[in-house]
Amino acid sequence: MRVLLVAPPGAGKGTQGALIATHFDIPHIATGDLLRDHVARNSELGRSVREHLSRGELVPDGIVLDMVRAAFIEAKADGGGYVLDGMPRNLAQARELYEIGRGLEMTANVALHLKANDEELIRRLLTRAVLQGRSDDTEPVIRRRLTLYHEVTHPIVDWYASRGILVSVDAVRPVEQVARQVLTALEAMRPLVQHVPEHARRSVDLTGLGAAFGRS
């Protein structure tokens, strides 16, 4: 299974990404975690991106693409599955990622879109700020990250819909309900992924299905 996560900050990419990775026994490649790790280690790359991260700006495409290419090569040796969390964040990254995937015969099978409204996202991120103290979880920086998401990241969702690999899920529910719906959808897609070519598929919108997955 090869999954991309497309979601605004605070929607639960990290949490759902980790659950998907465990469920399918595939690596969880999280670009934000990889970048924060560089910053924490004070590597040359870390020093060059620290400011971008703390201002909530995107780091240059080339840096993340190189990181993800290296992670894909490792994932290929490990069976070829992955859940990629945090990339692509703009259309240029989406195109470039597709080329990397084609070169390695590892293009994504599913683009999982976690949907949530800004009010809920800001509330979650401010709660997380108290617990984790991430340098980009202050209200002005959260607002900047959300603006960037709406302006440059969200448009990619249509691109995945047109490729027939989009699955949309309502993320404004308890973690376990979102997880149940995500894993059920991905399991249902497993045979499709293996046997039906992308151009013959339709995107799947599960956002109206809350009740079937435990919403009261």
Annotate each residue in 121-160 with x if it binds ligand ADP (CB under 6 A) or - if it does not, as one string.
---------------x--------x---------------
Cβ 91 vs Cβ 157: under 8 Å: no
DSSP-assigned letters across all residues of 59-75: PPHHHHHHHHHHHHHHH
**191 preceded by a cis bond (ω within 30 of 0):** no
| Alpha helices in 105-174, H assignment, sequence order | 118-132, 139-148, 156-163
Q: Which of 52, 58, 116 is nearest to 87 (CA)?
A: 58
**Does the footprint of ligand ADP cover residue 12 (CB under 6 A)?**
no
Q: Give me the least distance between CB of 99 and ligand ADP, in Å please.
A: 15
Which of 9, 12, 17, 81 is close enough to bind ligand ADP by CB under 6 A?
9
Which of 16, 20, 75, 93 is close enough to bind ligand ADP by CB under 6 A?
93
Cβ 50 vs Cβ 105: under 8 Å: no
Which of 58, 100, 106, 193 is close enough to bind ligand ADP by CB under 6 A?
58
Q: Which of 181, 194, 172, 192 is nearest to 19 (CA)?
A: 181
Q: Which residue is nearest to ligand ADP (CB)?
A: 32
Q: Give me the least distance between CB of 80 and ligand ADP, in Å please.
A: 21
Q: Which residues bind ligand ADP (CB under 6 A)?
A: 9, 13, 31-32, 35, 52-53, 56-59, 64, 86-87, 89, 93, 136, 145
